[in-house]
């Protein structure tokens, strides 16, 4: 999925050293990145640090992002998620080490470039399975069937806007389900 | 990202939340410390300041091995950066801006390149990066107070400083692209408003590249249409001494604006260059064949 023209232009401006472009990206995406970081870490201070760091890393190494491969939103979300998960894992190990040494501690896979570890992927699949039929259907069409909102609407015989709001409802349900399981 | 990952991240993003206090001011202050923004300068020098910032972003990602890898002209990345600093310094000298690095003893860019490269070889790559950036930023700051028409000379070529700085922008762009190719990094294009004046400078060089290659095109004119963001249309007199072009152009060339700039910058093959030619096609071919004539290392 290629990035929209806006993303490309903002990326070009950041590469060209335009600070105002970084400010615009922050204004547009900070609450999403902060929300994501907060959901994973459940700690507002840590989530603020992660949010700040995500935008700083993007400014410092803007060429690591390739608009041919995805949106800016997805790219920053990927960095934020990776950092948030790293934080949670370090915290878990710290707690474990207080309780005593464990023989089989799993190391976080730092070289792993994907967002999801196998167990997380499994949980997402389960959460999709657990969605009510109508919501599961839109998610499957939009994500696994590669359909646009408009195409999802056409297949289900509903307006594009309805398809879009069903997908968003499904995403919120998924987020809730995933958050519950993490407790 | 595979569909499952995209779904997961999209779900997590469904819960936007504002931090209690805005992180924006400290973000921008922190950003300045991590990578310097483009130096403030005159409007007409912005395309250059932007290309300097882009090269700096590429260098920020370079690791030790990258610096000793040969990029172009048999030069390593460190030597290439020293070459850019050398030519920037010569332009700085010509307009009274500070010249950094070893003592200036020549106005010849090959000789100055050799001097700066031998000076920088004794320094770390990170120091070379800083030296180059300091020279570029000093030049930008100096240009902020100069008129665009201020006369300047580089390699014996006399032109307004605004044209020289666009030539520096093109060379910095071309070499950043050289280095990005070696590192397999996709370099985004400059902004359209930076490409356009660079293309305009290139178009105005065509009478000179023809003359330098021994073609007398006095009295002939070219219609040049450059496509893509930052492109435009030009009607050019091809004789260096000719007045403004008028009437129907003798030849027409339509080509991609970036490919055209790179052809002038010595990247691309006039034989295989993708262009639509019309009118006096032989004349148009001569224009393309001679276009790289002013590109040096």
ipTM of the complex: 0.94
The pLDDT score that the predictor gives to residue A181 is: 59
Does any domain span residue B11?
no
Split at pLDDT 50, 70, 90, the class of A106 is very low
Q: Nearest to residue B8, comparing CAs of A67, A167, A178, A66?
A: A178
Pick the CATH number of A5-98 from 3.40.50.1860, 1.10.274.10, 1.10.1740.10, 1.10.287.3510: 1.10.1740.10
Write the DSSP symbol of residue A144: I
Does residue B179 share a domain with residue B198? Answer: no
Convert the pLDDT of each residue in B38-96 to its tens digit: 999 999 999 999 999 999 999 998 988 999 999 999 999 999 999 999 999 999 999 99
> How far apart are the two ends of chain A, measured CA to CA in Å?
33
* B118 and B178, same domain (yes or no): yes
B170, B276: one domain: no
Non-local (6+) Cβ contacts of A98 within 8 A are none
Residues B184 and B233 in one domain: no
Do B131 and B206 share a structural domain? no
Asked if pLDDT for residue A105 goes beyond 80, the answer is: no
Number of folded domains that form chain B: 2
The predicted pLDDT at position A88 comes to 85
For residue A144, pLDDT over 80 is answered with yes
Same domain for B100 and B141?
Answer: yes
Q: Identify the domain boundary among B141, B160, B188.
A: B188
Does some domain include residue B168? yes
Do B129 and B179 lie in one domain? The reply is: yes
State which residues form the domain around B271: 194-294
**B273 and B209 within one domain:** yes
Same structural domain for residues B78 and B182? yes
In a domain, B171, yes or no: yes
Please state the domain extents for chain A.
Answer: 5-98, 116-182
Judged by CB atoms within 8 Å, which residues 52-111 of A form the interface with B? 52, 55-56, 59-64, 66-68, 70, 73-74, 77-78, 81
Domain A116-182 adopts which CATH fold? Arc Repressor Mutant, subunit A (1.10.10)
- Examine residue B3 and state whether it is found in any structural domain, yes or no: no
CATH number of the domain that residue B211 is part of: 3.30.1050.10
Boundary of a domain, candidates B158, B188, B218: B188
Q: What is the pLDDT of residues B86-129, one digit of tens each?
A: 999 999 999 999 999 999 999 999 999 999 999 999 999 999 99
Q: Which of B9, B19, B37 sits opposite A18 (nearest CB)?
A: B37
Residue of A nearest to B60 (CA): A61
The rounded distance, in Å, linking the Cα atoms of B139 and B150 is: 14
In a domain, residue B264? The reply is yes
B57: chain A residues, CB-CB within 8 Å: 15, 17, 61-63
Across the range B223-252, mean pLDDT stands at 95
Band (pLDDT 50/70/90 cuts) for residue A108 is very low
Residue B5 lies in a domain: no
Claim to verify: residue B87 and residue B226 sit in the same structural domain: no
Residues on chain A touching B8 (C-beta within 8 angstroms): 115-116, 120-121, 124, 174, 178
Residues B211 and B157 in one domain: no
Q: Residues of B with CB below 8 A from A48's CB?
A: 19, 23
| Domain end marker among B188, B206, B231 | B188
Kindly report the pTM of this predicted structure: 0.89
CA distances from B294 to B93, B228, B278 (A): 21, 24, 25
Are residues B220 and B89 part of one domain?
no
Which CATH number do you get for residue B107?
1.20.120.450
């Amino acid at each position: 999925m290629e990035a929209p023209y806006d993303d490309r232009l903002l990326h070009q401006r950041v590469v060209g050293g335009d600070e105002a472009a970084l400010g615009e990206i922050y204004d547009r995406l900070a609450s999403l990145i902060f929300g994501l970081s907060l959901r994973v870490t459940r700690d507002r201070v840590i989530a603020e640090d992660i949010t700040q760091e995500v935008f700083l890393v993007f400014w410092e190494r803007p060429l690591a992002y390739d608009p041919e491969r995805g949106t800016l939103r997805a790219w920053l979300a990927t960095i934020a998620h990776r950092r948030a998960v790293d934080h949670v894992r370090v915290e878990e190990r710290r707690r474990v080490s207080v309780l005593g040494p464990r023989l089989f501690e799993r190391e976080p896979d730092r070289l792993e470039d994907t967002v999801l570890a196998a167990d997380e992927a499994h949980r997402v699949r389960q959460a999709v399975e657990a969605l009510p039929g109508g919501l599961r259907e839109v998610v499957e069409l939009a994500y696994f069937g590669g359909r646009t909102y408009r195409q999802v609407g056409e297949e289900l015989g509903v307006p594009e806007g309805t398809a879009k709001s069903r997908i968003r409802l499904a995403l919120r349900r998924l987020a809730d389900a995933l958050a519950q399981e993490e407790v | 990202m595979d569909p499952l990952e995209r779904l997961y991240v999209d779900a997590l993003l469904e819960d936007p939340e504002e931090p209690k206090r805005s992180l924006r001011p400290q973000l921008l202050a922190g950003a300045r410390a991590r990578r310097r923004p483009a130096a403030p300068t005159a409007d007409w020098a912005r395309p250059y300041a932007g290309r300097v910032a882009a090269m700096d972003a590429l260098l920020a990602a370079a690791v030790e091995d990258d610096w000793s890898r040969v990029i172009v002209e048999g030069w390593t990345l460190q030597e290439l950066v020293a070459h850019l600093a050398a030519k920037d310094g010569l332009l700085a000298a010509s307009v009274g801006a500070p010249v950094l690095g070893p003592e200036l003893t020549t106005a010849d860019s090959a000789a100055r390149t050799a001097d700066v490269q031998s000076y920088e070889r004794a320094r770390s790559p990170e120091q070379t990066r800083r030296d180059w950036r300091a020279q570029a930023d000093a030049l930008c700051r100096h240009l902020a107070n100069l008129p665009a028409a201020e006369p300047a000379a580089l390699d014996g070529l006399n032109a307004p400083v605004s044209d020289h700085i666009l030539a520096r922008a093109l060379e910095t762009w071309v070499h950043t692209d050289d280095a990005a190719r070696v590192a397999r990094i996709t370099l985004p294009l400059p902004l359209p408003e930076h490409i356009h004046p660079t293309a305009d400078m290139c178009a105005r060089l065509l009478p000179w590249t023809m003359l330098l290659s021994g073609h007398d095109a006095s009295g002939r004119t070219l219609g040049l249409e450059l496509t893509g963001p930052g492109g435009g249309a030009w009607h050019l007199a091809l004789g260096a001494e000719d007045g403004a072009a008028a009437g129907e152009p003798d030849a027409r060339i339509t080509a991609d604006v970036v490919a055209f700039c790179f052809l002038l910058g010595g990247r691309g093959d006039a034989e295989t260059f993708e262009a639509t030619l019309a009118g006096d096609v032989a004349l148009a071919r001569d224009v393309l064949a001679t276009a790289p004539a002013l590109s040096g290392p």
